[in-house]
Structure 1
Amino acid sequence: MARSVYVTGIDRGDGRQVVELGVMELLTRQVDRVGVFRPLVHDGPDRLFDLLRVRYRLSQDPATVYGMDYQEASALQAEKGTDELVAQLVERFHRVAREYEVVLVLGTDFHATQLPEELAVNARLANEFGASVIPVVGGKGQSAEAVRAETRNAFRAYESLGCDVLAMVANRVAPEDRDVIAERLAARLPVPCYVLPDEPALSAPTVAQITQALGAEVVLGDDSGLARDALDFVFGGALLPNFLNALTPGCLVVTPGDRADLVVGALAAHSAGTPPIAGVLLTLNERPSREILTLAGRLAPGTPVISVSGNSFPTAAELFSLEGKMNAATPRKAETALGLFERHVDTGDLLKRVSVARTGRVTPMMFEHDLLEQARADRRRVVLPEGEEERVLRAADVLVRRDVCELTLLGDGEVIRKKAADLGIDLKDTRLIDPSTSDMRQRFAERYAELRAHKGVSVELAYDVVSDVNYFGTLMVQEGLADGMVSGSVHSTAATIRPAFEIIKTKREASIVSSVFFMCLADRVLVYGDCAVNPDPNAEQLADIAVQSAATAARFGVEPRIAMLSYSTGTSGSGADVDKVREATKLVREAHPELKIEGPIQYDAAVEPSVAATKLPGSEVAGQATVLIFPDLNTGNNTYKAVQRSAGAVAVGPVLQGLRKPVNDLSRGALVSDIVNTVAITAIQSQPTASA
């Protein structure tokens, strides 16, 4: 039977979706198949399940997610009693539990449910499901003492009803009260109590949600702009200078549509990043002239301008009653929520308390989860030279929201701020440096000239060289101002790694710099090397690549079993290419007898147990290889791309190995998720225990 976690509450407005999302993140980090069950549901779309389904690629039939709707449940309870209601819900729960390794149960929402003794119903269901309970208490607008008292009472209520309480969560508390509440509850409760501060961005509606709620018409803007959070509302009525002083970051400007001066002023301020706004809402069914709208569109491309027919006062009343909700269309809210959860919840301890054994398989999602968790455990400083690139900015947004590492973006500060503002990205926790104007440029020029003196590089020449973002970023790493660098989304591999070869250079124990890809297949993660750097390594270099790749695999949780690939297996073939692989295998065995290695071996014999049983029976690597070393770049590069496209594998990399400090290259077709993963890998490589 599946292990189950039941997230519930004591009243509405507790913001428990943050906890439900955070628990789902933890569970999917441990097991491949996680089911979801909501015993009772309202009519209409289930925003949270839609988010979970998209984010975690759930294949569960939505029809199995729900027990019954509240109206049916209320009628059944009134007619046949609570026992019959519970019996039917238990039966429907077990249909899900039989199919999954673990089930996340989403408790009732205490909103117009017409269920008497709703808390007791949740406790009864949790007990009948055999689920452990995480009760959530809402603290918004309450004093510290009220939150503490309510949390203790909620624990006693669920415990007295026989529940296995895993932990308590006090959510949406005043940030200034968080520490004292956590301290006092820790002394009063026998289970952990995690205290999460209120995060305005989570309750802020997006411009798209405002547009839908008000029945507004989109005059200007794109999907990216409509996805921005409206963190504040600023009502335009004053003269332009006073109005501009009232603007706040992320605000929605509400103004009569005939105030063209305020519309243009607000968008001009946004364009300059002082401050970036969410958008403009026009009232009175008035719009500026076509010429003004054309100017507005050029000032701040993508920034939404929406229009309603009502006047400002009733519009304001509607706006202040709106509250943003997480759903599949608000992925940035999900990142914010997960960052909040992971900062304030001891996720390692909570996982132990859940007692969900990790599956033997490593899925792509589990691998990606582990990367972020490892990076977050010891936050490092990563520099991104391509700070003006949209994909890099979007990745930086995710990394900051998830608290993965400290970031520095290189490029023209005004260009970066404008692009970030257009994307609705807050860069307040991100360092921006323009190499061409930085006061570090002269220092770096002198350092580079010193390092390249043997090549005749003068300080004057170096001064020009270090204005290049990749050289500047590499020197930041070399000089200890950053722990690692990631580039390549718009630069070639040569432009990204040449500075590292010149400045950082190889480790003493490495003869060459090489690379690996983490190939995330449906049920496992394989390490491919070298598919990006060395065209035709000799036997000694191939042995070095194998040793480095094994160390990288181990560093990222993949047990190294090395297959030295060739077109023949064992002693079946001969020729220069096979002999090179055979010699490289011999060198690894002599230098590192502790490593499990087989070679030469064909790919099918390396990864398929049935083939291995025929070709190399008794091998401790054949059929179960995890590190696959290709004889040359041509073979490796084509193979990784073929597997990526044909098998739908997620290819993370290339990850460079052998450098004294980590620098990693991106594909110029890298997705935002690829950049996030590569930055996390770079941060992990720079951590003190890293050996790769």
Structure 2
Amino acid sequence: MSRRIMLIPVGTSVGLTTVSIGLVRALEEQAIKLNFFKPVAQPRRGDTGEERSTAIISHHCSVKPIAPFDLNVVEQMISSDNTDELLEEIIERFEAHQEPDAVAVIEGLVTTRHHPYAERLNLEISRALDADIVFVCVPGNDDPVDINHRLEIVVDAYGGHKSKKVIGCIFNKVNAPYDEHGQLRTDLSVLEAPEHDETRSKALRELPIFAKGLNLLGNIDWNAELMSPRAIDIAKHLNATLINEGNIASRRLSSVTFAAREIHNMTHTLKPGALQVMSGDRGDVFVSCCLAALNGTKLGALLLTGGYQPDENIKQLCNQALETGLPVMLVNTNTWQTAQNLHAFNQEVPVDDSQRIEKVMVHAAESLDAKWVSSLTEKVSRQKKLSPSAFRYYLTNRARQVNKRVVLPEGNEPRTVAAAAICAKRGLARPVLIGDENEIQRVAQQQGVVLGDGVEIVSPAAIQEDYVAGLVKLRGHKGVTDVVARELLQDNVTLGTMMLQQGDVDGLVSGAVHTTANTIRPALQLIKTAENASLVSSVFFMLLPDQVLVYGDCAINPDPNAQQLADIAIQSATSAQMFGIEPRVAMISYSTGTSGAGSDVEKVREATEIAQKLRPDLLIDGPLQYDAAAIESVGRSKAPNSRVAGKANVFVFPDLNTGNTTYKAVQRSFDLVCIGPMLQGMRKPVNDLSRGALVDDIVFTIALTAIQAAN
């Protein structure tokens, strides 16, 4: 049985795309069959290429949207009085792509002065597609009485409260900054938005219309962080010349300051994410900004006006600061004209801004009513493949439930500090940063990060003595005395490992600056392997566009024998199950079945037989070539009787050389997110990071460490 949900905007500028992609993400996390359809493309001013909502969902979700109809074609058919024919074509296109056991999210048109027919067409499309109706409304500064009146009018237009098709309303941009005329402020000066107003939210929840049967299905707060553009977006908007490119593609802007004062009166504006706008001949401000950058403050960018290039001597003096990644751009307009141009900046998220799109999706999805979202999944089919979004949802949701304490020995490392703040804020874990509190707070301030009460900071000197006796007891047979133990505990990774060994924390994550050996060696010596494990191995979770694969072992064991390879297969299958993936394990080799011979193939064949005998409840098959394991048509041809071939989601490689090379080739060739390596076989969870890990990588590693601790 399919479900069809059509989102109908109530008024203009309701943020319909935000709600659409949020609902798609919320449903995608439920691992169900899903589709998206915007029947008529409605490009904004300056848009080129694909329709925005369709493009975002196509590129950032595991959903293949149905192509919309071109707006010009639609308007021509309406003006020629061929609306019935248009509706027939819309139905035909939708039914040709919609599975009978899937949920479809349908996005309506926004009524504007250029598209006055949108309201009528939305009604006709909703009836033609037999869709349930969800209204999307922005409360603005309106009085609750006026908001209720607006909703009553639109409900009546769709059949009134007795209509079984009208199911609810989603409020968007709640508590957004509005001016005295009730207009949403879209200039960059409001990136630092007002705090959440619970009184306003409560008034919306208590509107009389909700007592009549209309359901409030979501309350999406305005979030200033989601409005932060990249420096490159501003450069494109202003057609600016780049003086120093720096990290222009990744630096985000959270405030704007115009340098119209003496420098001692504006030092407080030199903060992370700040766009500093100045006349190009203000060398004093330029140097001050560079000093701030040298001190570790990640300013957003410098924007020079008037066409004035900075003096060459000053540029040479500031060269080291520019090498920190500080973007510097130049425009020919004066400061006043530049301010007017910035005011006209379109803050809609660009289709290529993956990081911001992901945050918008998550924020909108989490703001929807969970019971309603869950109700949409009833009597529809589940996806056979676990999508990346469903995997991330499982990861974060499960981590919140277990609420574990995870120690981070690299406590003053900037990415680690930012990840700890995110984990605490989202309730994914109770992070413990090891390091000097003043230093950690300084790093946080430079990153624009606020460390709330959920982040614990532990000074190494304050706790080292607590673990001396325990370390001596564990390693005394290796010659570790009190003196040696105190020396070893100077290393924060060893100290954190002892905290884990003694049960003071539940897991450990390190590796942002330490090598894999530095992270794993203390764990092997102090934590040791689990009782039922013969070795420690690892897996990577490979987040492909439409599913999640598990790769093992790609980080630890150089050349495992057959018994060890069987253990790695069982450990990897168990890890897959732990994270909601029903394992189908392929033992990878350079030949499939009995087609090849040689010691390497025999090792894989023997490992497969051992694993099958040890765990007959698991689907394990091999040897299989990668294509036979991954591609259904090849699997049917090369291993027609295999229950794994062509359907594998856990890939066990014969040695480290093969595994590590394959995972990196797949990751880099397709620009995939890879979570791991996650260590398997330890008594307690210890996980290593790549030294190139992003903040999100660390966040997910902390989350999976918490889940491991619970299992």
TM range (shorter): 0.7 to 0.9
1:602 matched residue in structure 2:
623
| Bigger shift: residues 324-333 or 306-315 | 306-315
User: What residue number does 2:107 align with?
Assistant: 106
Number of matched pairs: 675
Please name the residue that 1:53 is paired with: 58
Give the whole-Å Cα distance in 2 for the aligned partners of 1:671 and 1:204.
19
Mapped partners of 1:101, 1:304: distance in 2: 46
2:478 is matched with which residue: 455, 476, 500? 455
Q: Structure 1 residue aligned with 2:70, among 61, 68, 71?
A: 68
CA deviations over 1:264-300 (Å, ceiling 9, x no partner) = 22343344356x4322223333343122233444225
Looking at structure 1, the residues matched to 649 and 255 of structure 2 have their Cα atoms a distance apart, in angstroms, of 51
Hey, what does 1:503 align to over in structure 2? 526
Residues 205 and 655 of structure 1, relative CA distance in 2, 3 Å threshold: closer
**Which of 215, 231, 239 pairs up with 1:215?**
239
Q: Which one of the candidate residues 360, 366, 370 is aligned to 1:343?
A: 366
CA distance in 1, matches of 2:672, 2:259: 52
Deviation at 1:448, TM superposition (A): 3.8
Displacement of 1:166 in angstroms is 5.1
Q: Name whichever of 106-115 and 523-532 sits farther off.
A: 523-532
Distance 2:431 2:142 in 1: 35
What is the CA–CA distance in structure 1 between the aligned matches of 2:599 and 2:285, rounded to whole Å? Answer: 77
Contact kept, 8 Å, 2:305 with 2:334, in 1: the verdict is: yes
Provide the rounded CA distance (Å) in 2 between the counterparts of 1:120 and 1:673: 44
Deviations 1:340-386 (A, max 9, x none): 22432244641432544212233556545544454455555545556
1:125 shift after superposition: 1.3
The answer to whether the 8 Å contact 1:335/1:402 transfers is no
Q: Does residue 1:284 correspond to 2:306, yes or no?
A: yes
Aligned to 2:219: 195
Deviation at 1:95, TM superposition (A): 4.9
Q: Secondary structure at the match of 1:505?
A: coil
The equivalent of 1:515 in structure 2 is 538
- Using the aligned pairs only, state the percent identity: 32
What are the superposed Cα offsets for residues 68-108 of structure 1, whole Å, 9 maximum, x if unpaired?
A: 31x55445434416545544444444455479965443321
Q: CA deviation at 1:497?
A: 1.2
Deviates more, 1:428-437 or 1:232-241: 428-437
Q: Which runs of 5+ in 2 are unaligned?
A: 176-195
Distance 2:364 2:119 in 1: 24
- Cα deviation for residue 240 of structure 1 reads 1.7
TM-score by length of 2: 0.76
Alpha-carbon shift at residue 663 of structure 1 (Å)? 1.4
1:164–1:415 distance in 2 versus 1, CA, 3 Å: farther
- The AA in structure 1 aligned to 2:360 is A
> For residue 263 of structure 1, what is the aligned residue in structure 2?
286
Query: How far apart are the structure 1 equivalents of 2:502 and 2:143?
Result: 48
Q: 2:349 aligns with which of 313, 326, 333?
A: 326
Asked if structure 1 preserves the Cα contact closer than 8 Å seen for 2:519 and 2:688, the reply is yes
Write the deviation string for residues 431-454 of structure 1: whole angstroms up to 9, x where unpaired.
999998764445455654454334
Instruction: Tell me the SS of whatever aligns to 2:8.
Output: strand
- 1:192-591 superposed matches below 5 A: 192-222=216-246, 224-247=247-270, 249-272=272-295, 276-300=298-322, 301-347=324-370, 349-353=372-376, 355=378, 356-363=380-387, 366-368=390-392, 370-375=394-399, 378=402, 380=404, 382-385=406-409, 426-429=448-451, 439-443=462-466, 448-478=471-501, 483-488=506-511, 491-518=514-541, 527=550, 529-530=552-553, 532-534=555-557, 545=568, 547-560=570-583, 589=613
Write the deviation string for residues 381-431 of structure 1: whole angstroms up to 9, x where unpaired. Answer: 545556787887897899789875565666799998999899xx6432489
Q: For 1:682, give the aligned amino acid.
A: T
* CA distance 1:537–1:463, shift in 2 (3 Å): same
- Asked if the contact 1:127–1:163 (Cα under 8 Å) also holds between the matched residues in 2, the reply is no
8 Å CA contact 1:35–1:100 kept in 2: the answer is: no
Query: Is there any run of 5+ residues in structure 1 with no aligned partner, and where?
Result: none
Structure 1: distance between partners of 2:11 and 2:398? 35
Deviations 1:178-223 (A, max 9, x none): 652464267665434211111123334443333333333332333x
Q: Deviations over 1:506-564 (max 9, x none)?
A: 33444543334456678766655555445666787666555544432321223346677
Q: Which residue matches 1:11?
A: 11
Aligned pair in 2 of structure 1 residues 339, 676: CA closer, same or farther (>3 Å)?
A: same
Give 1:170 shift.
Answer: 0.8
Q: Is the 8 Å Cα contact of residues 608 and 620 (structure 2) preserved in structure 1?
A: no
- Secondary structure of the residue that 1:41 maps to in structure 2? coil
2:197 paired residue number: 176
Query: Match for 1:658: what amino acid?
Result: G
Secondary structure of the residue that 1:316 maps to in structure 2? Answer: helix
1:564–1:631: 8 Å Cα contact kept in structure 2?
yes
In 2, the alpha carbon distance for the partners of 1:321 and 1:646 equals 38
> How big is the alpha-carbon RMSD for the aligned residues of Structure 1 and Structure 2?
4.9
